[in-house]
Chains A and B, each alone.
Chain A
Amino acid sequence: MNWLTSTDHKHIARLYFLSTFVFFGVAGILAMLIRAQLAQPGLTLLSPHAYDQVFTLHGTAMIFLFIAPFGIGLANFLVPLQIGAPDMAFPRLNATSVWMFIFGGIIVLAGAAASGGGASAGWSGYAPLSEIEIGTGAGQDLWIIGLLMVSVSTILTAINLLVTVLVYRAPGMTMWRMPIFTWEIVATALMILMAFPSLTAALAGLLIDRRLGGHLFDPSTGGSAILYEHLFWFFGHPEVYVMILPYFGVITEVIATFSRKPVFGYVGLVLAAFAIAGLSMGVWAHHLFTTGAVANPFFSGVSFLIAIPTGIKFVNWIGTMWRGSLELTTAMLFALGFMLNFLLGGLTGILIASPPIDYQAHDSYFVVAHFHYTLGGGSMFAVFAAIFFWFPKVYGFRLSERLGKWTFWPMFIGFNLTFLPMHLSGLEGMPRRVETYPAIGHLPLLNLLSSLGTAIIASGVVIFLVNLVLSARARVPAGDDPWGGFTLEWATSSPPPEFNFKELPSIRSERPAFDARHPEIAPTR
């Protein structure tokens, strides 16, 4: 029963890890169903309506229930440790948030079993499609209720994280000595506070329209569908960065540790994070270019600008590795995989930030490829980098490095085999969210390659699960600091004790754990 009532941030983080991985499993199985349906033209494994439900739940689960909340879980575990705090500022609020998230996630998925089927209007739930009754019965309502809970839970966690960082830093841990991961979480928390209320409002409006006779978003009764799109994407695009910034932090920590060098351009990385956060609040309507109802030049210009701070981060990562003593651990391999995949996703993002190109690529598989390269090849690879890096600290024992590398390669090869061809199928005109396609041009071959790639990714995930089981049986003790880490979490036991530290080391730089191990070269003031 302890885990039901614990308010310790580390227990809560473990709840996030477990629940997000269960949701990831569901979303992954749905992805395989999608790819099985599309392996050949004209297959009837899924009916059109079932296909709508499958891609809706796949997107919803991956975005709302896996990638973003895994970052929240990681922040829950790491932020208090990295700043030398005994816990989060509001432990009960923290526990309330995680349970709201878990119940919300279960409600979203339970919608699939509702009469009339699950939600089927896509992960963005566009009105008026999500307001009509045809095929969208109680499942769509449960989708809204579940996401309302997830949304409020995320806002509460953001408040908690921000207060923790501003108030509970240990003596000597000035803000300019905080690890980059913690800085990225500060930027993420600010974005959540600005963006998520808009989602909450959009979902509440949808619920009012569907169940209480409102007409907010239904154009046939004087409402505005474009208003829903504004509200949704005012959340939706910052959400993309909510799913990226924590992982930028992960990658920075992993690369610095396994390059055996301090982070190159610490201040630049922090400022770039805030530049990305700020700019990302002003790009939402690039998702609405083709409506013809928004100021395309404004949103295009701001979208292009985001490439600059993102490029700065790449320079910093390469600078950190430059002439470093690189150690290709599993975490480092995933970090390098992240860099390659995210770079490609970022470059195609610059392309579709241009309205004339977006008009061609919109709602095609080119866009599907783009966002999977940023969130799948980017964030998901960073999730695995984080797991292999911090698992010993969280659970006290190591994962097998050999099986870890066997996880990385199928995932990397499978990922690129799945999503690289989608650029071409998109350019050949294949629309997204349609359950079949004509047997013309290269579409059958490209889709077959994508489906094979998904199976290869799945094999990597299976090897990871085997690794978990075997490592849990072997329980090779991790030690306090298995990697020679720099930040404060490596200066306590694995797993950390209640209230995190028996004794804090002196904090005189952004690498206190390193300083404690090497007092001969540590700053003296």
Chain B
Amino acid sequence: MKTGVALLASSMAFSSVIAIAYWLSAHEPAGTILLGLMAAGLAFAAGYALLAERGARAEGDFQEVPRGKFAGDDLGVFTVRSPWPILTAACIALTLGGLLWWPFIFAVALVGLLLCLLFMGFESNRV
């Protein structure tokens, strides 16, 4: 995790420097806000990794691993099949299209989208 945190923290530091340098040299608000948001996003990620995940150690963080040390460890369940992703994507497409041209389709697709997300959540809880 140390490398991951260092990666996020150094990206945040770089973004902050470039945002400040941009404001000082350009005095232009749109770009400064975009760079500032980028720095803020990275600061959140780095801060979260530093505080909430402090001391967390993934299996991949171990340099030396005796063969079989992690054999049989539970990595969680990886689902192999689900109908909800394709239905969710279809509902998103219809919702966006409906928003512009067909209010009825928009309403139906929006309900469909919410149901898909709900069922995907239920399925995710089961497996």
Asked if B64 contacts A525 (CB within 8 A), the reply is yes
Asked if A298 contacts B22 (CB within 8 A), the reply is yes
Which of B3, B67, B79, B81 has most chain A Cβ within 10 Å?
B81
Asked if B61 contacts A174 (CB within 8 A), the reply is yes
A91 to B80, CA, bound (A): 8
Interface residues on A, range: 35 or more
Which residue of chain B lies nearest to A525 when distances are taken between CB atoms in the complex? B64
Which of A93, A194, A207 has most chain B Cβ within 10 Å?
A194
A138 to B101, CA, bound (A): 10
B93 partner, pick from A94, A107, A234, beta carbons under 8 A: A107
B96 partner, pick from A6, A148, A186, beta carbons under 8 A: A148
Asked if A169 contacts B58 (CB within 8 A), the reply is yes
Q: Mark A1-17, 1 if CB is under 8 A from B, else 0.
A: 01011111000000000
Chain B residues with Cβ under 8 A from A87's Cβ?
78
The stretch among A63-71, A97-105, A240-248, A329-337 that forms the contact with chain B is A97-105
- Within 165-205 of A, Cβ neighbours of B (below 8 Å) are at 166-176, 186, 190, 193-194, 198
Asked if A7 contacts B85 (CB within 8 A), the reply is yes
A173 to B62, CA, bound (A): 8
Q: Mark A204-242, 1 if CB is under 8 A from B, else 0.
A: 000100010000000000000011001100100000000
A297 to B22, CA, bound (A): 11
Which residue of chain B lies nearest to A506 when distances are taken between CB atoms in the complex? B67
A184 nearest CB across to chain B (Å): 13
- Within 45-103 of B, Cβ neighbours of A (below 8 Å) are at 58-65, 67, 69-70, 75, 78-86, 88-90, 92-93, 96-97, 100-101
Which residue of chain B lies nearest to A100 when distances are taken between CB atoms in the complex? B89
Which residue of chain A lies nearest to B123 when distances are taken between CB atoms in the complex? A92
Asked if A167 contacts B58 (CB within 8 A), the reply is yes
The reply to whether the CB of B9 lies closer than 8 angstroms to some CB of chain A is no
The reply to whether the CB of A95 lies closer than 8 angstroms to some CB of chain B is yes
Asked if B82 contacts A95 (CB within 8 A), the reply is yes
Q: 7 A-B pairs, CB-CB below 8 angstroms?
A: A2-B81, A5-B83, A95-B85, A100-B93, A227-B30, A274-B11, A281-B38
